[in-house]
């Protein structure tokens, strides 16, 4: 069961989570923890259950058994937007932007997550509306600057290049002010140079004080940026540890044996 | 409210139930069209009600063509030959309308991968255009100079009024269930409905083409990879829906005897309700949903008064969607066991 | 067909040009233009410009229904255009607003119109919440059918309930309160003062002093004061619409429409915003219904609210350009105006708008005046498509 007490406080605990789809067990008694301020890599071959893990955490699916806790608060049965407000934000493996909204508006939607502005504030342009709007705007612009697409802020999300869209997804998730930022294969479809750039961005994000959970199945890449790694295979956790430990873990080597890392996308 | 009307005696109860079943059979046949198209395309074919409505007109026209306009009352046996011709005519016309819909209102959108809401709007537009075209048929005939030749068919100046079959079919009571006299007409309707349901069910489960339909319903992309011609499957789906609507139209005209350009609307909404109740996309669900809706609606009108019949049906739809949005038997054309 | 869609996008582009030129003006000039435009719209039924004016039908009455339809379309645009909810039973809300006004101002209670109006809006809004709360969770295409059913339920209900007049309907509904002298037909029009209207001989205008309009006198003869009232309501609603749309509320609606799951995961309480859009739309529908009931005729019956009206409302929003408030106004105006102006075709209007819905859905789902953004996105798409086609052709020739 749970291993030795972690050095730092656990921000997120995945506690013995199992989820079944009909006959398929997509997650099988998976437990791990994410500590504040770290970058945790979640790796595993395609179909291992990584995205499913995100979906359970963010309330898209209900776990068949077990639960997920954020800061000690159980997320079970909570509505999705509430989970986001509690501090869990994510990106999507298959990009899901609001395509006919502008880049800036996409990020502002994220920034609105904690806004208390309601219908009447907006209708009568009460001070709260104005204040919140200015804050959201500043925040959104700052985030677009951070991910490097500020110049495109007035463009429609649909018109961005693929790489820019991935970056916008990250900015939008960060705008919700999360304690934990979950990135689902943010470098999928990138060439090696772009991947390296993205990993630098992720480090920069962590240095701003965010905790990051990163799904990525390119082993080499994950090794370079993560503090610790959890490995899934067929819905089971098969290993957990520092990049060095994972590299030498025989079970992990077996899982990846014969699987060309590049073709696994 | 008068629960006594329904539950006061077993006879009353049985009689309302039987009457409901007969109507339910017609709903079920129309519901098939919604369910098939939804199963394959995940689209509500809003204009399917018009497919049915054109069928009812085809029946009346066929009687006018073969018999004339003189109002008479015949027994079922005497009307049978013309009825068969009318059935063929209605099935053909309804199928033709369904195929036209597929070709012009849906195919361009499916190709583009347009959002469902857009396809629904296109269908609503087509539905209104079709109903109005029927309601304005006298004007069109007039413009084409055919008013005199087609007078009996287009009802000049009265195209929007009730349009009756000149031959009224007099039902003959066969036996009693409770207080309800089951007539030959009722029996034919129920039997026809069951036979067609079984035939269709067998077709979808047993034949090669049926497998194609199920494959496309389950996963269009994989089906395409496996060599299923999905465009063809969609066409056949509309075709079957149209044929069944034509059959339903004939049965409806046997029982009711008249129609009008907006007759499809209410029946369409009810048939859709039936499809949803049984689990849209599920053939057997259409049957269960149709019969159930017919019965519940009849019970409802016994208790609340017949003017509230449609309200009962709609409220039922809302309740079903809330309690069990995937219907009684669940949604699955694709998952039907082979 | 491509010729048609080119003409249609031409309309969009020209509209863009107008908006751009307007935005480039200094603020006082913009204000001046708005006032000038508003004045023109208010005075339209008095100016009676040739071509526009309907000849055999009271032009003031036509303008009243144009404004009423525009108001309805603006309300429905919030539901369909902003939040992406297909409401096919909007006539139900229109009817609830009208009937609430009718019941409150006639034999049951005899309230004055302006007292009944806020209550009519509130009742409609509550109806919207009651209908929306359970149904907005079901799938979008089911919602369309449920709302359709709702429209019919309302109509059947008022037809069968004696308390609201059953099939006979309600007559003598209170008009808005006349300001100035009360009308005393046939000799005294009442009101504050009279204004004459124009008459045209070809393109030569002259004053027509024989048919003046009594300002703010609400009688049975002249529809123009009613038009002014509903136009004022329309302008207020437009202003509110603009303020709310350009806030986080508007963003939440758009995000929900674009991708409900993603919106939810970005912290948007989508259900709450869908319900808000639905209730607001309902309230505006009720508002227009209330004006309709208290209009010149002061009479409503179940037959005033056929389901077909719902379809015309939807057509107005879609034809105009779902998501653009000006598009909705243009759509609403067209749906109300065209059949009156071209009376000989009035019977064909459902056929025409039915076909228009289908044709637009297929060739131009964004309508005549789509929101500016989708126009821009479309332009880029077209460019890419053109490039791809070019590339394909190149490769086949090679
Ligand atoms: N909603 C669902 N219904 C049925 N099976 C699912 C569903 N979501 C995921 N799965 C299955 O769960 C397994 C894990 O998928 P996923 O989490 O997406 O893998 P990955 O590790 O590549 O992200 C796969 O076999 C997938 O088919
Ligand atoms: Mg994945």
Domain boundary among A120, A153, A177: A177
pLDDT tens for each residue of B136-167? 998 888 888 888 888 888 888 888 899 999 99
Rounded average pLDDT over C127-132: 92
> Looking at the partner chain, which of C244, C258, C267 has a beta carbon nearest the beta carbon of A122?
C244
Indicate if the pLDDT at residue B314 is higher than 50. yes
pLDDT tens for each residue of B27-67? 999 999 899 888 888 888 989 999 999 999 999 999 999 99
Task: Give residue A265's pLDDT.
Answer: 40
pLDDT tens for each residue of C342-385? 777 778 888 888 898 888 888 877 777 777 666 566 555 565 55
In a domain, C352, yes or no: yes
Contacting residues of A for C376, CB less than 8 Å apart: 156, 159
Q: Mutate which of A17, A21, A30, A238 to test ligand 1's pocket (most atoms within 8 Å of Cβ)?
A: A21
Task: Give residue B82's pLDDT.
Answer: 95
Buried residues in C122-141 as b, exposed as e (16+ CB within 10 A): ebbbebbbebbeebbebebb
Q: Is C197 helix (H, G, I), strand (E, B) or coil?
A: strand
The listed range with the strongest mean pLDDT (B133-142, B207-216, B327-336) is B133-142
In a domain, C304, yes or no: yes
A211: containing domain? 8-87+180-265
B182 — pLDDT class (breaks 50, 70, 90): confident
Task: Give residue C376's pLDDT.
Answer: 60
CATH 1.10.3470 fits B10-169+176-323, yes or no: yes
Instruction: Provide the pairing of β-strand B258-259 with C194-201.
Output: unpaired
Indicate if the pLDDT at residue B254 is higher than 90. yes
Q: What's the rounded Cα separation, in Å, for the pair B169 and B79?
A: 7
Task: Give residue C222's pLDDT.
Answer: 81
In a domain, A231, yes or no: yes
C-beta A26 within 6 A of ligand 1:
yes
Contacts of residue B253, Cβ cutoff 8 Å, sequence gap at least 6 = B56, B59, B60, B86, B90, B165, B259
Higher pLDDT, C4 or B254: B254
ipTM (interface predicted TM): 0.91
Indicate if the pLDDT at residue A208 is higher than 50. yes
Higher pLDDT, C10 or C156: C156
- Pick from A30, A28, A101, A50: nearest CA to A214: A50
End-to-end CA separation in angstroms for chain B: 47
State in Å: Cα A47 to ligand 1 middle.
6
The mean of the pLDDT values for chain B is 87
Task: Give residue C380's pLDDT.
Answer: 57
Shortest distance between the Cα of B317 and any Cα of chain C, in A, equals 7
pLDDT tens for each residue of A142-151? 999 999 999 9
Q: What is the CATH number of the domain that holds C271?
A: 1.10.3470
Q: How many domains does chain C have?
A: 1
The DSSP letter of residue C181 is B
Indicate if the pLDDT at residue C394 is higher than 50. no
Paired tokens of C64: 């009243």
A262 — pLDDT class (breaks 50, 70, 90): very low
Task: Give residue A135's pLDDT.
Answer: 94
Shortest distance between the Cα of C167 and any Cα of chain A, in A, equals 39
Indicate if the pLDDT at residue C393 is higher than 50. no
C-beta A44 within 6 A of ligand 1:
yes
Shortest distance between the Cα of C398 and any Cα of chain B, in A, equals 28
Indicate if the pLDDT at residue C8 is higher than 70. no
**Minimum mean pLDDT among B160-169, B224-233, C260-269: which range?**
B224-233
Q: Mutate which of A43, A48, A49 to test ligand 1's pocket (most atoms within 8 Å of Cβ)?
A: A49
pLDDT tens for each residue of A62-103? 999 999 999 999 999 899 999 999 999 999 999 999 998 999
Question: Which residue's entry shows tokens 């994972």?
Answer: A246
- HEC string of chain A equals CCCCCCCCCEEEEEEEEEEEECCEEEEEEEEEEEECCCEEEEECCCCCCHHHHHHHHCCCCCCCEEEEEECCEECCCCCHHHHHHHCEEECCCCCCCCCCCEHHHHHHHHHHHHCCCCHHHHHCCCHHHHHHHHHHHHHHHHHHHHHCCHHHCCCEHHHCCHHHHHHHHHHHHHHCCCCEEEEECCCCCCCHHHHHHHHHHHHHHHHCCCEEEEECCCHHHHHHHCCEEEEEECCEEEEEECHHHHHHCHHHHHHHCCCCCCCCC
Indicate if the pLDDT at residue C287 is higher than 90. yes
**Minimum mean pLDDT among B311-315, C54-58, C153-157: which range?**
C54-58
Task: Give residue A93's pLDDT.
Answer: 93
Shortest distance between the Cα of B273 and any Cα of chain C, in A, equals 9
Rounded average pLDDT over B223-243: 88
Residues forming a β-bridge with A184: A215
pLDDT tens for each residue of C297-346? 889 999 999 888 888 899 889 888 788 899 899 989 888 888 777 777 77
Question: Could B120 and C86 be called an inter-chain contact, meaning their C-beta atoms sit closer than 8 Å?
Answer: yes
Question: Could C356 and B125 be called an inter-chain contact, meaning their C-beta atoms sit closer than 8 Å?
Answer: yes
pLDDT tens for each residue of C14-33? 887 888 888 888 889 889 99
Rounded average pLDDT over A104-127: 94
pLDDT tens for each residue of B86-123? 999 999 999 999 999 999 999 988 888 777 778 888 99
Indicate if the pLDDT at residue A222 is higher than 90. no
Chains A and B touch (3+ CB pairs under 8 A): no
In a domain, A92, yes or no: no
Does residue A117 sit in the same domain as residue A135? yes
Residue of A nearest to C237 (CA): A123
Q: What is the CATH number of the domain that holds A232?
A: 3.40.50.300
Residues forming a β-bridge with B72: B167
Tell me the percentage of chain C whose pLDDT exceeds 90: 37
C-beta A49 within 6 A of ligand 1:
yes
Task: Give residue C252's pLDDT.
Answer: 96
Choose from B129, B264, B313 for mutation: most chain C CBs within 10 A: B129
Inter-residue contact B180 to B207 (CB < 8 Å): no
Task: Give residue B163's pLDDT.
Answer: 94
**Minimum mean pLDDT among A123-137, A165-179, C50-64, C263-277: which range?**
C50-64
State in Å: Cα A14 to ligand 1 middle.
18
Residue of C nearest to B271 (CA): C145
Domain range annotation of chain B: 10-169+176-323
Indicate if the pLDDT at residue C263 is higher than 70. yes
Query: At A185, phi and psi to the nearest 5?
Result: 45, 60
Question: Considering the entire predicted model, what is its pTM?
Answer: 0.88
C-beta A21 within 6 A of ligand 1:
yes
Indicate if the pLDDT at residue C118 is higher than 90. yes
Task: Give residue C186's pLDDT.
Answer: 64
C80: containing domain? 2-14+59-162+229-382
- Residue closest via CA to ligand 1's atom 20 equals A47
- Pick from B146, B152, B133, B169: nearest CA to B62: B152
Q: Residue C30: in which H helix or E strand, if any?
A: helix C27-47
Q: How many domains does chain A have?
A: 2
Q: Is C138 helix (H, G, I), strand (E, B) or coil?
A: coil
Q: What's the rounded Cα separation, in Å, for the pair C112 and C373?
A: 44
Inter-residue contact B250 to B59 (CB < 8 Å): yes
Higher pLDDT, A263 or B212: B212
In a domain, A187, yes or no: yes
Rounded average pLDDT over B176-180: 78
* Partners of chain C (3+ Cβ pairs below 8 A): A, B
Q: Which residues surround ligand 2, an ion (CB under 5 A)?
A: A 51, 93
Question: Could C265 and A81 be called an inter-chain contact, meaning their C-beta atoms sit closer than 8 Å?
Answer: yes
Q: What's the rounded Cα separation, in Å, for the pair C58 and C43?
A: 15
> Looking at the partner chain, which of C248, C258, C262 has a beta carbon nearest the beta carbon of A117?
C248
Task: Give residue C350's pLDDT.
Answer: 82
Indicate if the pLDDT at residue C135 is higher than 50. yes
In a domain, C182, yes or no: no
Task: Give residue B180's pLDDT.
Answer: 80
C187 — pLDDT class (breaks 50, 70, 90): low
Rounded average pLDDT over A201-206: 92
Indicate if the pLDDT at residue A5 is higher than 60. no
In a domain, A54, yes or no: yes
Question: Which residue's entry shows tokens 């520092």?
Answer: A242
Task: Give residue C373's pLDDT.
Answer: 62
Question: Could C347 and B310 be called an inter-chain contact, meaning their C-beta atoms sit closer than 8 Å?
Answer: no
The mean of the pLDDT values for chain C is 84
Q: Residue C209: in which H helix or E strand, if any?
A: strand C204-214
Paired tokens of C215: 């300002």
Residue of B nearest to C366 (CA): B118
Question: Could C266 and A173 be called an inter-chain contact, meaning their C-beta atoms sit closer than 8 Å?
Answer: yes
Q: What's the rounded Cα separation, in Å, for the pair B32 and B282?
A: 9
In a domain, C169, yes or no: no
**Minimum mean pLDDT among A246-250, B332-336, C289-293: which range?**
B332-336
Q: Cβ atoms within 10 A of the Cβ of C91, count?
A: 31
In a domain, A1, yes or no: no
Residues of A with CB under 8 A from a CB of C: 58, 60, 79-81, 84-85, 89-90, 92, 96-102, 105, 108-110, 112-115, 117-119, 121-125, 129, 132-133, 136, 156, 158-159, 172-173, 176
> Cα Rg for chain C, rounded, in angstroms?
23
């Amino acid at each position: 069961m749970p291993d030795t007490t972690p050095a730092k406080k656990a921000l997120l605990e995945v506690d013995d989570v199992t989820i079944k789809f009909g006959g398929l067990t997509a997650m099988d008694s998976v437990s791990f923890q994410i500590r504040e301020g770290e970058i945790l890599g979640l790796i595993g071959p395609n179909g291992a259950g990584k995205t499913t893990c995100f979906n359970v955490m963010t309330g898209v699916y209900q776990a068949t058994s077990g639960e997920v806790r954020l800061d000690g608060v159980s997320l079970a049965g909570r509505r999705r937007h509430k989970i986001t407000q509690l501090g869990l934000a994510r990106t999507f493996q298959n990009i899901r932007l609001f395509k006919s909204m502008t880049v800036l508006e996409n990020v502002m939607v994220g920034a609105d997550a904690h806004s208390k502005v309601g219908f009447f504030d907006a209708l009568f342009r009460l001070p709260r509306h104005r204040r919140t709007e200015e804050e959201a705007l500043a925040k959104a612009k700052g985030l677009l600057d951070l991910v490097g697409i500020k110049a495109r802020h007035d463009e429609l999300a649909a018109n961005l290049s693929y790489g820019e869209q991935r970056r916008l997804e990250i900015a939008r998730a960060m705008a919700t002010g999360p304690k934990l930022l979950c990135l689902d294969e943010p470098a999928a479809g990138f060439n090696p140079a772009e991947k390296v750039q993205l990993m630098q961005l992720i480090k920069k994000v962590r240095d701003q004080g965010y905790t990051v959970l990163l799904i990525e199945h390119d082993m080499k890449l994950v090794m370079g940026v993560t503090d610790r790694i959890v490995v899934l295979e067929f819905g089971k956790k098969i290993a957990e540890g520092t990049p060095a430990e994972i590299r030498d873990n025989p079970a992990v080597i077996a899982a990846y044996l014969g699987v060309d890392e590049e073709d696994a996308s | 409210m008068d629960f006594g009307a329904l539950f006061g005696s077993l006879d009353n109860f049985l009689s309302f139930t039987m009457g409901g079943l007969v109507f339910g059979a017609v709903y079920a046949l129309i519901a098939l069209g919604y369910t098939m198209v939804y199963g394959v395309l995940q689209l509500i074919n809003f204009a399917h009600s018009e497919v049915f409505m054109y069928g009812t007109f085809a029946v009346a026209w066929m009687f006018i063509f073969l018999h004339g306009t003189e109002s008479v009352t015949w027994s079922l046996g005497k009307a049978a030959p013309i009825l068969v011709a009318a059935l063929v005519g209605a099935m053909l016309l309804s199928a033709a309308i369904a195929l036209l819909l597929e070709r012009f209102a849906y195919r361009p959108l499916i190709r583009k991968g347009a959002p469902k809401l857009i396809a629904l709007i296109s269908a609503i537009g087509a539905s209104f255009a079709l109903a109005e075209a029927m309601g304005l048929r006298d004007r069109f005939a007039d413009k084409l100079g055919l008013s005199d030749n087609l007078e009996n068919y287009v009802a000049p100046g009265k195209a929007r009024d009730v349009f009756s079959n000149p031959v009224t079919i007099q039902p003959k009571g066969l036996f009693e269930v409770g207080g309800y006299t089951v007539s030959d007409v009722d029996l034919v309707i129920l039997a026809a409905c069951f036979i067609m349901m079984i035939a269709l069910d067998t077709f979808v489960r047993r034949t090669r083409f049926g497998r194609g339909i199920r494959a496309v319903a389950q996963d269009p992309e994989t089906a395409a990879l496996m060599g299923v011609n999905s465009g063809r499957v969609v066409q056949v789906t509309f075709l079957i829906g149209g044929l069944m609507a034509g059959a339903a139209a004939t049965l409806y005209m046997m029982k009711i005897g008249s129609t009008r350009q907006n007759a499809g609307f209410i029946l369409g909404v009810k048939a859709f309700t039936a499809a949803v109740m049984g689990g849209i996309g599920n053939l057997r669900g259409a049957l269960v949903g149709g019969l159930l809706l017919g019965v519940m609606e009849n019970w409802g009108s016994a208790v609340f008064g017949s003017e509230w019949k449609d309200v009962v049906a709609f409220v039922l739809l809302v309740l079903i969607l809330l309690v069990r949005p995937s219907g009684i038997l669940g949604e699955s054309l694709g998952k039907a066991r082979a | 067909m491509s010729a048609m869609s080119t003409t249609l996008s031409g309309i969009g582009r020209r509209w863009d040009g107008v908006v751009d030129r307007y935005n480039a003006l200094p603020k006082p000039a913009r204000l001046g233009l708005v006032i000038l435009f508003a004045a023109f719209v208010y005075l339209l039924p008095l100016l009676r410009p040739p071509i526009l004016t309907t000849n055999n039908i009271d032009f003031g009455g036509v303008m009243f229904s144009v404004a009423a339809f525009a108001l309805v379309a603006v309300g429905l645009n919030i539901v369909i255009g902003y939040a992406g909810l297909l409401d096919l039973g909007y006539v139900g809300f229109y009817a609830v607003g009208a009937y609430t006004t009718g019941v409150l101002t006639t034999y049951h209670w005899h309230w004055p119109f302006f007292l009944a109006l806020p209550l009519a809006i509130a009742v409609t809004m509550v109806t919207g919440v009651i209908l929306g709360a359970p149904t907005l969770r079901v799938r979008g295409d089911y919602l369309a059918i449920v709302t359709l059913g709702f429209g019919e339920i309302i109509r059947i209900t008022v037809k069968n309930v004696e308390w609201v007049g059953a099939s006979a309907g309600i007559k003598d509904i209170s008009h808005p309160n006349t300001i100035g002298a009360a009308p005393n037909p046939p000799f005294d029009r009442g009101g504050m003062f009279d204004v004459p209207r124009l008459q045209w001989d070809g393109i030569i205008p002259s004053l027509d002093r024989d048919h003046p309009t009594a300002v703010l006198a609400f009688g049975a003869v002249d529809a123009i004061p009613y038009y002014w009232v509903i136009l004022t309501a329309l302008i207020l609603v437009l202003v509110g619409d603009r303020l709310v749309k350009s806030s986080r509320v508007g963003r939440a609606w758009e995000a929900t429409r674009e991708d409900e799951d993603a919106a939810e995961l970005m912290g948007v309480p989508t259900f709450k915003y869908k319900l808000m859009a639905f209730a607001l739309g309902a309230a505006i529908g009720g508002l227009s219904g209330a004006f309709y009931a208290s209009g010149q005729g002061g009479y409503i019956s179940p037959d005033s609210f056929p389901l077909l009206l719902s379809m015309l409302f939807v057509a107005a929003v879609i034809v105009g350009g779902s998501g653009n408030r000006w598009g909705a106004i243009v759509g609403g105006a067209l749906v109300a105006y065209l059949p009156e102006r071209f009376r000989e075709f009035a019977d064909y209007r459902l056929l025409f708008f039915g076909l228009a819905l289908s044709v637009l859905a297929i060739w131009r789902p964004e309508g005549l005046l789509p929101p500016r953004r989708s126009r821009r996105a479309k332009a880029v798409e077209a460019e890419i498509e053109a490039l791809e086609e070019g590339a394909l052709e190149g490769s086949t020739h090679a």
